[in-house]
Structure 1
Amino acid sequence: MPMKSMSNREVFASIIGAFFATLCASFFSNSILEADNMPMILASTGASAMLIFGIPHSPVSQPWPLVGGHLISAFIGISAYSLIPNPILASSVAIGVAMLLMHSTGCMHPPGGATVVTAVIGGANVHELGYYFIIIPVFFNAIILLSIAMAVATFREKNPFVID
């Protein structure tokens, strides 16, 4: 099945949306967490932004996969870190379990792979959060991206001032 092409209006709105979404998520995470390891925490957020704004019609770019995929991945990653002392083994097990759960719940979102690995190898800033990592930054970043993506979708469809 070919990927649905985007009009010039959709591409422009998506680029602007991705910029503002990642800016807001980065600002939020930095303000709340004051994390020294910001790029590691936001790697999956950037990957999600590329998907939901770059190919918004894809099944992996829909609201449930975006939010559910990240939440499942964060939970599995934190759990694996807590239960398996070897980070390489913990990351590998976590990837497989997260993939299985995303498939079984219908929320496959590939950037969840970065979330699950970040939960395992993200360092002291992530590990100190424990299961709070699921809420801050993962859940809030997903909601920020989703909110801006929904606004962009409305703009892409209805703004008469953008010419294709």
Structure 2
Amino acid sequence: MVNNKELLISAIGVFIAVIATGFFSNVILQSANSPLIIASAGASAILIFGAPHAATSRPLNLIVGHGVSAIVGVSCFYLITNALLATSIAIPLAFVAMHFLKCMHPPGGATAVTAIIGGEAIHQLGYVFVIMPIFFNSLILLVVAIAVGSFRDKNPFEDYL
């Protein structure tokens, strides 16, 4: 459980992280029809700021979990023409991949889905989607979380630095 001071610090950190990832995504996707922020980044922010000691919030899980899920999602988009079927296959494949790579990060499921149903701006990125915006969004979230952690009573990321 976090105290009120840590809650406030974490909430400010989530705000900063989401603004930064949203700005970055918007600059990359540059389309009126594209999402302002990759939805899975919001879920990741809640995990890494709200439950920073959880195994699913570890830096490796955040970065690799999103990355492998993005690869799976883009691959399913290219290989399966039906969006519902592609999504239905991508989520369990991302789950299995994260399990075997020991990088379980639940928002990765949303990353895989975004690669399939995210719209033309995302589809045009192809596998670049894995790097921009997914890797960079994850990295921004992590950097802000580490910075915010230094203001908490106990930095949840100190074991990884």
TM-score (norm 1): 0.90
Contact 2:38 2:114 in 1 (8 A): no
State whether structure 2 residue 96 is matched by structure 1 residue 100. yes
Residue 44 of structure 1 aligns with which residue?
40
| Shift of residue 32, structure 1, vs aligned partner | 2.5
Counting matched residue pairs gives: 154
Residue 148 of structure 2 aligns with which residue?
152
Listed one character per residue, the Cα deviations across residues 115-149 of structure 1 (whole Å, up to 9, x for unaligned) are 00010111111100000000110000000000000
Which of 83, 87, 100 pairs up with 1:91?
87
Listed one character per residue, the Cα deviations across residues 51-97 of structure 1 (whole Å, up to 9, x for unaligned) are 11111111111101111110001000000000111111111111111
TM-score (norm 2): 0.91
Give the CA RMSD over aligned residues.
1.4
Runs of 4+ more than 2 Å apart = none
Contact 1:29 1:35 in 2 (8 A): no
Q: Looking at CA atoms only, which structure, 1 or 2, has the larger radius of gyration?
A: 1
Q: Distance in 2 between matches of 1:150 and 1:6?
A: 16
SS of the residue aligned with 2:16? helix
Contact 2:18 2:45 in 1 (8 A): yes
Instruction: Supply the AA of the counterpart residue of 2:35.
Output: M
Q: Distance in 2 between matches of 1:31 and 1:81?
A: 23
Residue 9 of structure 2 aligns with which residue?
13
| Shift of residue 157, structure 1, vs aligned partner | 3.0
Instruction: Supply the AA of the counterpart residue of 1:145.
Output: L
| Shift of residue 35, structure 1, vs aligned partner | 3.1
Q: Distance in 1 between matches of 2:31 and 2:62?
A: 23
Greater fraction of residues in helix:
1
Q: Which segments of 5 or more consecutive residues in structure 1 lack a partner in the other structure?
A: 159-164
Q: Distance in 2 between matches of 1:80 and 1:107?
A: 20
Q: Which segments of 5 or more consecutive residues in structure 2 lack a partner in the other structure?
A: 155-161
Listed one character per residue, the Cα deviations across residues 10-53 of structure 1 (whole Å, up to 9, x for unaligned) are 111110000000001111111232132224x5201111111111
| Shift of residue 7, structure 1, vs aligned partner | 1.6
Report sequence identity in percent. Answer: 52
Which of 25, 30, 41 pairs up with 1:34?
30
Residue 79 of structure 1 aligns with which residue?
75
Which of 137, 141, 152 pairs up with 1:141?
137
Contact 2:87 2:113 in 1 (8 A): yes
SS of the residue aligned with 1:156? coil
Which of 62, 71, 78 pairs up with 1:66?
62
Instruction: Supply the AA of the counterpart residue of 2:43.
Output: A
> Which deviates more, 130-139 or 23-32?
23-32
SS of the residue aligned with 2:2? coil
